[in-house]
Amino acid sequence: MKHFLQFRDFTKDEFEYLFERTRLIKAMFKSYTIYHPLKDRMLAMVFEKQSTRTRVSFEAGIHQLGGSSINLTTGETQLGRGEPIEDVARVISRMVDLVMIRTFDQSIIERFAAYSRVPVINGLTNQFHPCQILADVFTYIEHRGDIAGKTVAWIGDGNNMCSTWLQAAAIFDFQLHVASPQGYAINESLISEAEKPHLTLFADPMEAARNADLVTTDVWTSMGFEAETDERKRDFADFQVDAEMMAVARPDALFMHCLPAHRGEEVSAEVLEGTQSVVWDEAENRLHAQKALMEYLILGQVAQN
């Protein structure tokens, strides 16, 4: 049984298979072709943090594959009253076929997976957001072809998205340039030896973005860090992706943002809405890529149709 708790839980071959399935599943969706490989299968979603894209893409996705879902939030379940995660895992996983969890520390999802009878998907933790990077790498390839040998510039917080981009860099063999304000660097304890050669740190965000094939950023304050919002606004003031920054990237560079975005903070409205921005494709591809992921976790590799 496989889980998807970090991006590096899958090999490059597995991602290539998933991208092939994503293309087919997306084409079926666009042509209104009914495809129900997960008929009668049940996905439990556990949200300990807010969500729009993850909630809608997983719920719509499992339904479109013939299954259904249950949405659980901390406040409405016994999790909110302190039921141990190991107990919750043993109970939920006896009743459903697949679990997606959005929570705080990565250790919570690892403890859940250790006690789960069914595959577990990381729908975002403080450390990683593998489903988003799955969709983002797919989106890059859709627009520009192979990502190997390319340069991705990460501007801003060395957060869950940034750490997951680095895991993808080692798997797909691209370079990650990261520029973060002092005190907000990527978490070194999460970086493996295999990932180190793929990372270059920059003090100046313009230098990180120079000649990049993809420029990407995220909110200055991630979920769970709201108490630091004012301080972060001051510390990140020089880290906005704007037209001037996109101008030093390659002329065909794409702009990505996992959303939700704060126009005028981490990205200017001009860049977010501009011709290089593929943020809406990224969001849509969450649906298609996660349908491929759910199919793979439940059924394994299927004969290509």
Residues that bind ligand NVA (CB under 6 A): 124, 159-161, 218-219, 222-223, 258
159 binds, among ligand NVA, ligand CP, none (CB under 5 to 8 A by kind): ligand NVA
48 binds, among ligand NVA, ligand CP, none (CB under 5 to 8 A by kind): none
Say whether 177 is catalytic. no
Say whether 64 is catalytic. no
Residue that the structure tokens 């009253």 belong to? 81
Query: For residues 219 and 272, which CB has a smaller minimum distance to ligand NVA in the complex?
Result: 219
Say whether 218 is catalytic. yes
Which one of the listed residues 3, 41, 129, 232 is annotated catalytic? 129
- What lies within 8 Å, CB to CB, of 170 at 6+ separation is 8, 192, 194, 195, 198
Say whether 102 is catalytic. yes
Q: Is 44 helix (H, G, I), strand (E, B) or coil?
A: strand
Angle separating helix axes 160-172 and 130-144, nearest 10 degrees: 50
C-alpha 77/C-alpha 282 separation (Å) is 31
Which one of the listed residues 240, 258, 288, 290 is annotated catalytic? 258
C-alpha 101/C-alpha 3 separation (Å) is 11
| Of 140, 109, 114, nearest in space to 126 by CA | 109
C-alpha 123/C-alpha 220 separation (Å) is 20
Query: For residues 113 and 124, which CB has a smaller minimum distance to ligand CP in the complex?
Result: 124
Which one of the listed residues 131, 167, 218, 290 is annotated catalytic? 218
Which one of the listed residues 6, 106, 132, 167 is annotated catalytic? 132
52 binds, among ligand NVA, ligand CP, none (CB under 5 to 8 A by kind): ligand CP
Smallest separation, CB 262 to ligand NVA (Å): 11
Which one of the listed residues 102, 177, 198, 288 is annotated catalytic? 102
What is the sign of the dihedral through the CA atoms of 13, 17, 18 and 20?
Answer: positive
Smallest separation, CB 164 to ligand CP (Å): 11
Smallest separation, CB 156 to ligand CP (Å): 15
DSSP 259-291: S---BTTTB-HHHHTSTTB-HHHHHHHHHHHHH
Say whether 117 is catalytic. no
Say whether 173 is catalytic. no
219 binds, among ligand NVA, ligand CP, none (CB under 5 to 8 A by kind): ligand NVA
List the catalytic residues. Answer: 102, 129, 132, 218, 258, 286
